Amino acid sequence: MTRWTASNLEGKKIAVWGLAFKPDIDDLRESPAILVADTLLSENKYNLLLVEPNLEKSIKYDLTDYKGLNGKADVIIYLVAHKEFKGFKTDRVELDFCGVKK
């Protein structure tokens, strides 16, 4: 089993799933997930794929469609439990911080 640390995640593709304030909405205001995404982006060490299924596009973020993402990321981080994420099957490492996989 790989022990993931900040140093061995450098250069890996990390998919950050969910940026909204709460599940199944498109409002990013005061979202804790935005703080996580902005922190990772500011460190400029990670290859991030940002996913927010409730937004078609964002002025600030380059969003990726989760439907075609399977196999393209080394690690998936779930930050918001959107209904679209439940039941998603992948063979990648998953870090679930919102209960998507329960």
- Sheet of 93-96: strand order equals 47-51, 13-17, 75-78, 93-96
The overall average pLDDT reported for the chain is 91
| Per-residue pLDDT, 77 | 94
Residue 43 lies in a domain: yes
CA distance 65 to 68: 6
pLDDT digits (tens, 9 = 90+) for 39-49: 999 998 889 99
pLDDT digits (tens, 9 = 90+) for 46-75: 899 999 999 999 999 999 999 888 888 999
Supply the CATH number for residue 24's domain.
Answer: 3.40.50.720
Residue with the two structure tokens 């599940």: 23
| pLDDT average, residue stretch 14-21 | 97
Cβ burial, residue 15 (10 Å; 0-12/13-18/19+)? buried
> Can you read off the two tokens belonging to residue 65?
């469609």
Boundaries of domain holding 57: 6-96
What is the pTM (predicted TM-score) of this model? Answer: 0.90
Residue 1 lies in a domain: no
